[in-house]
Homo-oligomer: A and B are copies of this chain.
């Protein structure tokens, strides 16, 4: 994907709920129209702390993540709808 998120931002591809039929994550009913699971496409180099050093990112490309329902800005890249969010908007990583 020809896009590098800046600082502590993460590019995310949403994983639609209807693609999951067995096991795995199930989104609560009230949130069904807006799934909260995604795959990390690319990550930034990390924010810069007050001491000038980068703070390393905890997620990497390929990670399957959960994120808050209203997190991120929607963008279209190469015809695909993606999300850019801050790493702090990510709740956790699916094993």
Contacts and interface: CB of A to CB of B under 8 A. Distances in A.
Interface of A: 2-7, 9, 11, 23-28, 36, 44-45, 48-53, 55-56, 58-59, 65-66, 68, 73-79, 81, 84, 87-88, 90-95
When all copies of this chain in the complex are counted, the total is 7
A77 B58 CA distance: 21
A83 to B, nearest CB: 10
Given A26-B79, A49-B51, 6 more contacts: A3-B93, A4-B92, A25-B76, A50-B50, A66-B84, A73-B91
A30 to B, nearest CB: 9
A76 B29 CA distance: 10
B6 A78 contact: no
